[in-house]
Amino acid sequence: MTESNLVVLSAGDAALALDITGPDLPRVLHWGVDPGLRADDAAQVLDAMGRTPRHQAGSLMPSQGKGWFGRPALTGHRDGRVRPPRFELAEPVAVRAMDGCGGAVHVRALDRGAGLALDTELQMTEQGVVRLRHALTNTAAGTYTLDGLACVLPVPAHAVELLDFAGRWARERSPQRAPLRQGVWSRESRRGRTGFDAGLLLAGAAGFGFRHGQVWGVHSAWSGNHVQYAERLADGTTVLGGGELLDAGEIRLADGESYRTPWVYFATSGTGLDGISRGFHEMLRARPRHPATARPVTLNIWEAVYFDHDPERLHALARTAAAVGVERFVVDDGWFRHRRHDRAGLGDWYVDEEVWPDGLRPLADHVHGLGMQFGLWFEPEMVNPDSDLARAHPDWLLADPERLPFEQRSQHVLDVAHPDAYAHLLERIGTLIGEVGIDYLKWDHNRDLADAVHDGRPGVHAQTTAVYRLLDELRTRHPELEIESCSSGGARADLGILDRTDRIWGSDNIDPIERQAIQRWTGLLLPYELIGSHVGSAPAHISHRDTELAFRCATALFGHAGIESDISGWSKDDLTALTAWVSAYKQLRPLLHGGDVVRTDHPDPAAWVHGVVSRDRAHAVFAYVQLDTSVAENGAPVRLPGLEPATRYTLRVRPELSSPEDTWPAWARRTTAPALTGRYLAQVGLAAPYLANRPGRALVIEARAQPAAAPE
């Protein structure tokens, strides 16, 4: 809605109110839970929130010249000379707003003295998520060097706690929580990829949890160097911000040239972290390019065979996979020339004639004949020094040619922004897609970008945009192709890469206890259908921890499910159990990949409760997972959130997804299933399973709404 000088965008339970009085840039008066603003509230809101002309709190581009002394959103210079920018509207603010449905604002502003033009796009999606980006144009003679350009939104004073993530290989997105104090809390990635610790940075009211409290979050949709930060000034003004993290001299704009930031996403919720998830998940599912088909059960051969490729063995593994219900068979690393270990061959994208004398087409045809899709692993952005490619084209490395960076994983980075390197990758991958019959690419990225130099200048921005362009071109040429983003596991999981790919690999660690946490926090931003989650071997290959098959299956269920083990050697009983799990996943995936993710703020830190509830609240599945031994002898009641309060639900344990029956509570063993209201299940709950001393066990509960009683 718009009235006078007030613009209000609202959708879901969120609202954003902008003062567009001018001549300064619009100022955010409110961003948070929708307070029910109406068109005739305009004058009162502007009076109540203040019209002080010099105060920059809430400005879409705050500047010191107008009284802002926080981290600048825009920094740059002209060969060391500066004229601090003070933008003013160049034309009326363009508004496309619809009550209750979001909308968009476009702002065109100029600083003629500084020789800069700014175009700002602010959109609120129908799900209440705000996304913001700026485009800066040099309108004067000479070069303008851009040092930084961030997108910021204000949060209120009662946001007093921060939640963000630490992380490393095999333990992505480990939560850390702290008070929001005065100063800047900045999370920055300079590794040339999103990072194991990246995702959302969140600020919230005291004690916020999964199901309660007001929360605000920011996410930079960029797969290269980036920043997300929270800042509280001495006057109490607080902002969340994000954007690309630029290196010195990386963006130099000649007269007429522009730089556009990545989209920075902002979400808010009055119902805790689950509300943040709901907004992002619904927004992602509404995308035109969101995967439209059921997410196929995927078997990846990496932990089954590693580099020991043998055509006969893989043909047999494919037959076993098809027999248990697998729908996609992916050949991982090791299929190309010289690749018998990870120290050679990377970049030589030709099928190894010694291992595969007839090529990969016979295996792909065999897989297709069994009714499965065929996938193949690539790591296009990297190269081993011991490779034909590196020996032939040392000038294609993303590095100073006279001083290479350290080798990481026996790899260097290929400069995808180099036109010849780009053309080579496009030809090689495109040719193999056609020759082999590839339905799916697993696109890996296994080392950090260190000392990234492109044509003598910092090269991470050019590399990131070139990779985006390559992915876009492959998808245009092969519209049925699906692509997975993998980066040493989950180190490139952001909304920029997901504009071009169909899922991310959650982590190289598929120990189910570790994966419970990784998937919980990755799922804060991404819905389950975008997170690859596989049943592995016992013991797990990375942690060497042994867990029961039921727990591995219950963990992998809540994701884009798959298998990563040599199941051709499994026992008959285990294959029977695996087949039953695959069948259950296929039955439940419309719910898992279309419903609302819910998580209980469970009082026992040794056990978690989470689930998915259908949008109509008629069907739900929940998991109680024991991660450690509990202090109490009896587990806390299992509360099931998100159901319709007045509706009565019939409950049952899914045995093919749960630990043995001797761990079930008494109610689950009765022949007559309990039927309780959603309010009772959320507030009181059910007796916990007998798992206090048995980590690595799970109970999966299905709930179905009973039909409403017919009127008498």
Structural domain boundaries of the chain? Answer: 2-285, 298-496+571-588, 597-705
Give yes or no for a contact between 232 and 180, defined as CB atoms under 8 angstroms apart. yes
* Record: fold of 298-496+571-588: TIM Barrel (3.20.20)
Separation CA 685–CA 665 (nearest Å): 13
544 annotated as belonging to a binding site for a ligand: no
pLDDT at 673: 82
Q: For residue 157, which phi and psi values (nearest 5 degrees)? A: -65, -25
Q: Does domain 597-705 have CATH number 2.60.40.1180?
A: yes
247 annotated as belonging to a binding site for a ligand: no
pLDDT at 53: 47
User: What average pLDDT score do residues 48-58 get?
Assistant: 61
Q: Is the pLDDT of residue 57 over 90?
A: no
pLDDT at 48: 72
444 annotated as belonging to a binding site for a ligand: yes
pLDDT at 231: 98
Give yes or no for a contact between 647 and 573, defined as CB atoms under 8 angstroms apart. no
The predicted-structure confidence for 530-588, as pLDDT tens digits, reads as follows: 999 999 999 999 999 999 999 999 999 999 999 999 999 999 999 999 999 999 999 99
Q: Is the pLDDT of residue 147 over 50?
A: yes
Task: State the DSSP string of 404-454.
Answer: ----BTTBEEB-TTSHHHHHHHHHHHHHHIIIII-SEEEE---S---S-EE
Q: For residue 232, which phi and psi values (nearest 5 degrees)? A: -120, 125
365 annotated as belonging to a binding site for a ligand: no
Identify the weakest region by mean pLDDT among 21-25, 161-165, 393-397: 21-25
19 annotated as belonging to a binding site for a ligand: no
Q: Is the pLDDT of residue 13 over 50?
A: yes
The predicted-structure confidence for 412-445, as pLDDT tens digits, reads as follows: 999 999 999 999 999 999 999 999 999 999 999 9
Q: How many other C-beta atoms are found inside a 10 Å radius of the C-beta of residue 711?
A: 4
Half-sphere exposure in the Cβ direction for 87 (13 Å, CA): 26
Q: Is the pLDDT of residue 388 over 60?
A: yes
169 annotated as belonging to a binding site for a ligand: yes
Q: Is the pLDDT of residue 381 over 90?
A: yes
Q: Is 708 exposed, middle or buried (0-12, 13-18, 19+ CB in 10 A)?
A: exposed
pLDDT at 446: 97
508 annotated as belonging to a binding site for a ligand: yes
Residues known to be catalytic: 444, 508
Q: What is the Cα 457 distance to its own chain's centre?
A: 30
Mean of the per-residue pLDDT values for the chain?
Answer: 95
* pTM of the model as a whole: 0.97
Confidence of residue 362 (pLDDT cuts 50, 70, 90): very high
pLDDT at 36: 87
Q: Is the pLDDT of residue 340 over 90?
A: yes
Confidence of residue 146 (pLDDT cuts 50, 70, 90): very high
* Record: fold of 2-285: Beta-galactosidase; Chain A, domain 5 (2.70.98)
Q: For residue 235, which phi and psi values (nearest 5 degrees)? A: -85, 5
pLDDT at 54: 46
Return the structure tokens found at 124: 């609120």
332 annotated as belonging to a binding site for a ligand: yes
Comparing 408 with 39, the larger pLDDT belongs to 408
443 annotated as belonging to a binding site for a ligand: yes
